[in-house]
Structure 1
Amino acid sequence: MEKVLQLIQENARRTGNGSGISTIRLQRATGLTYKELYPLLLELIETGKIIAREGINHNLLFLL
């Protein structure tokens, strides 16, 4: 989970948190399947560390 949060934080720093990171990008960077990644993302959302927003083509994850 720390690797996932670190990638979201790096994306937030790089974009000024103005552009979220997609689950597809996270999957490619971590090597996890969506089935493995989804519970980690839910935990991060429930603990208030990230938020998911609907983008034009898919959901994007932002740092809170």
Structure 2
Amino acid sequence: MLIHLDEDLVFPGNAVRETGAIIKSDGTPAEMVEIEGTRGHLDGVLNIAQAGDGIRAFQEAE
């Protein structure tokens, strides 16, 4: 599972989407969840609850 937001300067959204596509290209399951925020990379901590449903679904699929 890849959790990202476009405003992240550490892991920019376009790079995360490209990485997800590469992972999926060989049939490996990969899910991507985009969160929103205004604090860049820090939103991955502060706004992780936005990804809660996606995280639960990913865990259940395992």
What is the TM-score with the length of structure 1 in the denominator? 0.34
- Highest Rg: 1 or 2? 2
TM-score norm. by structure 2 comes to 0.35
